[in-house]
A and B are shown apart, each in its own frame.
Chain A
Amino acid sequence: MTTSTQIPFVDYLVLDDGDPHLVAHECTSCGARFFDRRNSCASCFADDFKTVRIATEGELRSFTIVAFAAKGVDVPFVAGIVDCDGTSVRGNIVNCPPDPEHVKMGMKVRLTTFSTGTDESGVDAVNFGFEPAG
């Protein structure tokens, strides 16, 4: 095991050498998209899904600045909902001061990745967030 091994923090983040992006399970029948594994489509009950790439740029549709959280969670941080070309994505807003003067509703953001830390085997778990794109 080398220290350069990287894995994504969640399976819907694809690291792809220098081109990280999110993917979703898209219902082949109605087009509904899901980040988690689904047994059937919650919208139309069909069973078939295909993997689709999610836009890496979007608009901040809502946010909160979490100042009080469970022990072990670093605060403050900005949690947001980003509209990525019609697909809503949940993630943290990073590389931006966590205050309402800097985090603006409707602002353009883009996907970014960062290390969450390495485990005892030296594997680096890479997570995603969104940073201001303006």
Chain B
Amino acid sequence: MSASDDIWILGIHMTKFGKHPDKDTVDLGAEAIKGALADAGVSMRDIGVLAAGNLMGRGGIGQQLQKQVGQTGIPVYNVANACATGATALRTAIMAVKAGEVDMGLAVGVEKLAGAGLLSGGERAADDKEWTPRGRFGAVGPVDGRIGTETMPGVFAQIGMEYGHRYGGTSFELFAKISEKNHSHSTLNPLAAYSKAMSLEQIMGDVMIAYPNTRPMCSANCDGAAAAVVVNGEKLKSLSLEQQRRAVKVTASVLTTDPWQEACQVLPDVNTLTRNAARQAYEQAGVGPQDLDLVELHDCFATAELVHYDNLMLCEEGGAVDFFESGAPWRTGKTPVNVSGGLQSKGHPISATGIANIWEVAQHVRGECGDRQIEGANIGLAHVIGLGSACGVHILEKSAA
């Protein structure tokens, strides 16, 4: 493989996650882009392609952002892949660089989500005055709540419960303990939306959303943005030694969707596509799960984090409960998971998430993560899932320079 095939993150930035009532989507996205460009030591003039993601806005976020950070006429790809939108934007920029069309690309994801409730809708549509079959199920009215649930907390609750049924060992308390870990981790993250530790009693005693997920066990809706500048190895060699030293190598960049499975039409199968993405990523990077110094995985709900220990092969198949009980995913453990606080505490501004998790890993392998630095971190993995489904997995490695 020649240097021109290598992909590096040259600069990356995430905004504070939380409530930003005085900033709109464009302000936040522009802040992330300017931060990533400054971190990379380059300007919009150096960027050959922009991939941008935003789900809740009016569309065309990439062009809206160009008008604030620099209109240079480069191609813009506005992408959408549910909660994997950020990772999809990054992958799009990486593909353009890898294809040799440009030597530097920019990806951004931004969302204004503070105060949003259930993302599947705040109110069920009213029934018609006359029952009329509609849609692909010929349903005469909305099915949410009548034929199962369409809420995310409920869907992911079933995914965790199913794992427990298959392998045993899960309980309401176990899932709550996973959340306790992430809330504890967030106390060291000044950019997290919520950075208070929560006791097991507080978590279990909080408002039940969809058993066994209580409110603090659900991802926190908030505002935020993240952006990254990627460059190929050839171009990187022409940049300063400081830029080369801080650049983080992307040793794997994978996006998968779910292959057909018997039950995927009734309950999204978030397992198979994650497992496939992880397998491809480990192969691309030439590393195994035992080599990872930290993992940021898509803990949209406490019940989701458990299954992804297994899907990312951080444990033996069926061994996620034992893996958690061993203390491995705590920041002091063998494979620290979600030391940022994860989606449950750092927050989940959906389109920003798939770049913000890369930022977290990049800061650790650069050794620039301050109080929450995982000492000696060289290799880390970032995982994201968008229901539908799409799964992004990236593996990052410290620069040898």
Does A89 interact with chain B (Cβ within 8 Å)?
Answer: yes
Beyond A65-B210, A67-B211, A70-B145, whether A123 also contacts B137 by CB under 8 A is: no
Q: Which residues of B contact A10 (CB under 8 A)?
A: 137-140, 143, 147
A-B CB contact pairs (8 Å), 15 listed: A9-B143, A36-B136, A36-B137, A64-B161, A66-B151, A67-B211, A68-B118, A69-B144, A79-B154, A80-B158, A119-B130, A120-B129, A120-B130, A125-B140, A128-B147
Specify which chain A residues have a CB less than 8 angstroms from the CB of B121 in the assembled complex: 70
User: In angstroms, how far is the closest chain B Cβ from the Cβ of A35?
Assistant: 6
1/0 contact string of A83-112 vs chain B (CB within 8 Å): 000111111100000001000011000000
* Contact across chains for B149 and A66 when beta carbons are under 8 A apart: yes
CB pair A89–B266 under 8 Å, yes or no, is: yes
Candidates B127, B147, B151, B267; contact of A119 at CB < 8 Å: B127
Q: Given A69-B151, A70-B121, answer yes or no on A36-B265 (Cβ-Cβ < 8 Å).
A: yes
Work out how many contacts link A and B, with CB atoms closer than 8 A: 168
Chain A residues positioned under 8 Å from B172 (CB to CB): 100
How extensive is the interface on chain B, given as a class?
Answer: 35 or more
Interface residues of B in 95-113 (CB under 8 A from A): none
Chain B interface mostly: loop
- A interface residue numbers (CB < 8 A to B): 7, 9-12, 32-37, 42-43, 61-75, 77, 79-81, 86-92, 100, 105-106, 116-117, 119-121, 123, 125, 127-128
Q: Do A63 and B145 touch across chains, with their CB atoms under 8 A apart?
A: no
CB <8 Å contact, A81 and B157: no
Please, what's the 1-or-0 string for B160-178, where 1 marks a CB less than 8 Å from any CB in chain A?
0110110000001000000
Is B148 within 8 A of A71, CB to CB? Answer: no
Known: A9-B139, A67-B211, A73-B124. 19 other contacts (CB 8 A): A32-B260, A35-B266, A43-B260, A65-B211, A67-B210, A68-B210, A69-B118, A70-B120, A70-B124, A72-B126, A73-B144, A74-B145, A77-B145, A81-B267, A87-B262, A89-B266, A90-B267, A119-B128, A119-B130
